[in-house]
Chain A
Amino acid sequence: MHRCPDPLTWQAVVDGEEGGAQLLEHLDRCAACKAIYGEIAEAAGIADGLFTGAALRPGFAAAVLARVKPFPAGLVAAALFALVAVSALLLDPHYWHWWLTVGMTRHCGRLLDALIEIVFLGRSLGPAWLIGAAALLVALELVLLHKLKTVEEC
């Protein structure tokens, strides 16, 4: 190594992030680099004084877990499912048949499976996304039913 490494390289050596044999050999031979290394090591030593061995009090984790409320996924899913069913029923009971034939039940079942897998099995997708997806499904269903009704009335 003929050229002197820059101070950031020496800093990486001080921090144990770099430490090739070539670098260390150069450090042994070069007085200028030794001086830079010494300055960095001194500054790092001063900053090491910031370290504290303080630890959290026992019971911290329990206190946090007590404040964590699990998302009531089952309840929300059941409510949304009921909403889909009631909305279909209110528009026209006749559309139950259509609802079943276009496979909406299967899609709702898949959504519920996903809800259970994600929330209960701990994959925790944001609850807002789940509610959003289910609400979108309800809206889609209402629009479709409304369109069908309009077409039939014509």
Chain B
Amino acid sequence: MAVRELLQKMMEEYGDKIYRLALRYTGDVFQAEDIAQETFLRAYSRLHTYDRSRPAGPWLFRIAVNLCRNWSRRAGAREMPMEIKDEPEVEPGPEHRYLQRERERELLQALHKLPEIYRDVLILKHVAELNYNEICAALGWELSLVKNRLYRGRMMLREALRKGEIADA
């Protein structure tokens, strides 16, 4: 398969997932698209490092996570956006929409307060929908570490939301 065809196939298969992952890191559709684009451009220039006998997903997610981490570090000084700008509305009714946005904002706020290692694993599991082995390959971690950090990350996220609810009350 020619290189450009391979890249196109990768974009068809993983483009949306990588975009969603970047969207959860950045909270901005334009930044997310930039990161998705950069992911595939880097993948193209590093195709010689990709083992074609394996699925491309974990390899691409590894590139995307690194780009997102870099973005987060650069954006560290700025306020992290806590809601998705310009995401298309999907639910009917303004009240429902408001409540949904509010819940999403709280969830993202809690997520971005977590240490990077927990944030990465939660995003790969719940946004990119990778299984344990794919997360291992994408982050270069042992299986036991992935399970442990996923567990702790989920508990910390739940705790952070509970604290937020108490503070709101």
Contact = CB atoms under 8 A, between A and B. Distances in A.
A127 B44 CA distance: 12
Given A12-B132, A46-B107, A52 B15 contact: no
Contact of A54 (B6, B19, B108): B19
Contacts, number: 115
Given A60-B33, A122-B3, A46 B8 contact: no
Contacts of B7: 64-65, 68
A86 B7 CA distance: 38
Interface string B11-52: 110011001100110000100110011001100101110000
A40 interface: yes
Nearest to B19: A56
Interface residues of B, number: 55
Contacts of B15: 56, 60-61
Contacts of B53: none
Contacts of B11: 60-61, 64
A46 B24 contact: no
Contact of B107 (A42, A49, A60, A68): A49
Interface stretch (B60-68, B69-77, B147-155): B147-155
A154 interface: no
Given A12-B132, A52-B84, A67-B41, 11 more contacts: A11-B150, A17-B131, A40-B154, A46-B157, A47-B157, A50-B111, A54-B32, A60-B36, A60-B37, A124-B48, A129-B48
10 contacts: A11-B147, A11-B154, A43-B154, A50-B123, A51-B127, A52-B23, A52-B84, A65-B7, A67-B41, A68-B7
